A and B are shown apart, each in its own frame.
Chain A
Amino acid sequence: MSYTLDRKMPPAPADVSGPKPLDGGWGWMVVFGAHISIGFAYSTPKALSIFFKEIQEDLGASYSEIAWISSIMLAVMYAGGPVSSMLVSRFGSRPVVMMGGLMCGVSMVTASFGSSIVYLYLCIGIIGGWGLCFNLNASLTIISKYFLAKRPLANGLAMAGSPVFLCFLAPVNQFLLGHYGWRGSLLILGGMMLNCCVAGALMRPVAQPCDPRACAPPQEVKQTNNTKSSGSCMKNVKTFVDLSFFKDQGFIIYLVGNVMFIFGAYAPIVFLSAYAISLGVEEYSAAYLLSIMGFVDMFVRPGTGLIANSKWIRPRIQYLFSFAMVFNGTFHLLCPLMTTYTLLVAYAVFFGVGFGMVFALIFECLMDLMGSQRFPSAVGLVTIIECFPMLLGPPAAGFLVDIFGDYKYLFFMCGGVITTGGLFLFVMNVYNYNRLDRASRGDDAEQNQNTTENQEQVSSSEAQMELMDPEAKETNTAQLDPEDRQETG
């Protein structure tokens, strides 16, 4: 596939409405930076649990009080999405990621001097959570700015940071704990998280920063009631809590499917080793299951990115996503049948595959739906909504275990919810794309700029954009039509 940039005419300098994706070159350094950044974001809340026992003994708190640290961190990381989106659109990714890295470092360093649980909630949970939130959001955004043709691969590689860092941080944390105790370990961990600043430095800005005259992140243009081509930066604030996203059918479908996935995704991870132990597996072997899962995940994510990038799959990436979800859910449903250790290992492997596939595609699909201009605010909205199932999922599953005294109901619930979500996505996407295709064929006469190449590659999303807002030409296809914009804008 060849995306020739800018075939029609050079963009007017004052009106660079969007970046031309580079799809290579420095972009790979950006992917590396995003890899580090996302890696820390996802793996830190989990890796911190290694310190919990010591902190618990030292501060005299109960296990559930300590476990709240991770939960608060995850909650803030997801809930801070919209704010992070706003900052990214205002300042670009680089300052936000560097700020995030700095906040994470500061949070860990200050936490190392803590002497009460509430202090740790504040430092690690809130400040650390904010830092990670900035990291996550900004990294995803900059990938969407740097890549288009190879975006699924870039996403897969960047998201692979999560299992890689988890595999790396877990033994490192153990080592640090043995040598320096939890305080020293938090101090050093804070230092390591400052490397996110390095990752941020790699994220060279692409679009120009917001200046009053041409402060036109095309969210402005997207507002149906806004025909002005530029506006003050304050107006941007409104657009990021923009509820107009909810008018977008594709977005709603994606959101529902995602919520269902997140609800069921984390509980099996939390309870897998407990389940294995209840079957009589030895403690270390049970913990090993999760390492297997993480290890498989590490390779599946870039692999899925590569597959999703292929000519066959790319236009149908939403279907691949729903397939991945169904795959994941099915194995959860089968888990209660796995009663021996070998079968559990097999389950862990397939779990890793399914999990990796879904997570490699989860943001890629959103980028595909929204396009790189709307993505920053969309991702903020998605993460804050996903906060709820993420926090509710594991306790709900634990509640089931407590009532029935049997782990299989947990797996049935999680598998059922995820599979239903996947099937829902699949069916609704088929319906939605058919509807959009019919609509776009009707609009075709007006759109004489659309080449067959466009239709081939990303016809569904483009058609969707056109349907939503004929003013805005989505840069999804890397084909800018500033001419068009000037005509209609």
Chain B
Amino acid sequence: MQQPHRRRDRLTQRTEERTTMTAAWRQLPVLILLILAPCRTVSSKSVDPTTQPLVSIASQPTDTRSVVLQESVDQTTQTLVSIAPQPTDTRSFVLKGDTTFKNVELLNPVNLSLECVWTGSQNKQPSITGYWRKDGAEVQDSRVTVNLKEQQYNLTKVFSIASEENLGNYTCVFGNEFEMYFILGAPQMGEIRDKPIVSYVGDIVVLICKMDEKKPKPNTWTWYKFNGTDREEISAATDPHRYLTINDGWKTKLKVKNVSEADSGLYHCGAVYNISTSMTHVELKVITIMEPLKPFISILIEVIILVAAILIYERSRSKKKEAEANGPNAEPKNAQPQTEDNGGEKSSSVRQRKA
């Protein structure tokens, strides 16, 4: 039988980077400016548990990336912007056409140049107003007049993505007519297990979170359990007798020993990157042995009742037949149906005399 439920990352990466030299040259002055800016090293592999946003890191981005949405690229394309230590190149992606979006995954703080290209509607006006929105709210000072150049409108802006709060949904809007958006975030874990892991009281349970190996390796992993609205971190440190975390690159395992029903609930695992932590959750359900035992016992009773009923029915019929065989010779109407009804027992075979 085929392997069931091989969960895959639905957003398969069909990366197509199209560098357009023109876009790159346009970014050059900006690039030079930024590279000359003082840089602070990107660091901090561990998350400070006391800060709210789980991320850390360098406040000054040290490189620039440029992403341009292009029509011909698929909606679900993910673009991974990974960082080399001394970034000097720019990447641009052009998106044009119908409302589409692009997922951009970032690892480190970066200056990102986002460009939207639109070929325009039926009546191409010589210039329209374009602006940017972040997470629904208009970005300040982003309104510009976009001129129709070579049959297309081009809207570009450089965003400084320094920390988690800079991540989100960036939409470029052309007048009232057209929108495209970028979703900036840390690499997401594709395989989200929709069904709970079921375990029994007293058992040892292993909860696993995996990051797609095609994506960059997380710096580390963290585990949380929600207590009502509060988030409580779990680690071997907090309760070494019960929890054991094994972080192994793209995979993390949380081993919970001696589970009890109170351990049921959602466990959140976070893949920590420089820019942010991407979270996903696993549900654990702990039940006692009684739960499956109840349906089992009911089925068992049903089986016993049916078997007994069938055997008793058969016994009573054979007794009836014996009584008839011993009694006065069977009435004619009994002989006929019995040739069909009986199970061919010995006594009945004798009866099948056809005179």
The reply on A187 being an interface residue by CB < 8 A is: yes
The stretch that binds B, out of A44-52, A125-133, A150-158, A340-348, is A44-52
Residues 78-102 of B at the A interface (beta carbon under 8 Å): none
B343 to chain A, nearest CB (A): 4
Q: Does B292 contact A20, Cβ atoms closer than 8 Å?
A: no
B259 to chain A, nearest CB (A): 12
The reply on A336 being an interface residue by CB < 8 A is: no
Q: Does A287 contact B292, Cβ atoms closer than 8 Å?
A: no
Bound Cα distance from A270 to B3, whole angstroms:
9
Q: Does B2 contact A287, Cβ atoms closer than 8 Å?
A: yes
A290: chain B residues at CB < 8 Å are 2
The stretch that binds A, out of B32-40, B51-59, B272-280, B305-313, is B305-313
Q: Name the residue on B nearest A50 (C-beta).
A: B4
| Most A C-beta atoms less than 10 A away, residue of B4, B200, B354 | B4
The reply on A460 being an interface residue by CB < 8 A is: no
Q: Does A286 contact B2, Cβ atoms closer than 8 Å?
A: yes
Q: Name the residue on B nearest A46 (C-beta).
A: B1
Bound Cα distance from A122 to B315, whole angstroms:
38
The reply on B30 being an interface residue by CB < 8 A is: no
The reply on B8 being an interface residue by CB < 8 A is: yes
The stretch that binds B, out of A199-207, A220-228, A249-257, is A199-207
B299: chain A residues at CB < 8 Å are 188, 191-192, 194-195
The reply on B295 being an interface residue by CB < 8 A is: yes
Instruction: Identify B344's interface contact among A20, A58, A178, CB under 8 A.
Output: A20
Bound Cα distance from A20 to B352, whole angstroms:
11
Q: Does A187 contact B352, Cβ atoms closer than 8 Å?
A: no
Q: Does A10 contact B353, Cβ atoms closer than 8 Å?
A: yes
Q: Does A178 contact B1, Cβ atoms closer than 8 Å?
A: no
Q: Does A273 contact B307, Cβ atoms closer than 8 Å?
A: no
Bound Cα distance from A208 to B291, whole angstroms:
45
The reply on A16 being an interface residue by CB < 8 A is: yes
The reply on B303 being an interface residue by CB < 8 A is: yes
Bound Cα distance from A70 to B4, whole angstroms:
14
B198: chain A residues at CB < 8 Å are 177-181, 184
B207 to chain A, nearest CB (A): 10
B344: chain A residues at CB < 8 Å are 19-20, 22, 206
The reply on A6 being an interface residue by CB < 8 A is: yes
Bound Cα distance from A10 to B2, whole angstroms:
56
A168 to chain B, nearest CB (A): 15
Residues 313-334 of A at the B interface (beta carbon under 8 Å): none
The reply on B331 being an interface residue by CB < 8 A is: no
**Interface residues in chain A, defined as those with a beta carbon under 8 Å from any beta carbon in chain B:** 4-7, 10-11, 13, 16, 19-20, 22, 24-26, 46, 49-50, 52-53, 57-58, 63, 70, 98, 109, 177-181, 183-185, 187-188, 190-192, 194-195, 197-198, 201-202, 204-206, 208, 269-274, 283, 286-287, 290
**Interface residues in chain B, defined as those with a beta carbon under 8 Å from any beta carbon in chain A:** 1-6, 8, 195-200, 206, 208, 287, 291-293, 295-296, 299-300, 303, 306-307, 310-311, 314, 339-344, 346, 349-350, 352-354
Which 6 A-B pairs give the minimum distances between C-beta atoms?
A184-B292, A181-B198, A191-B299, A273-B2, A49-B1, A201-B310
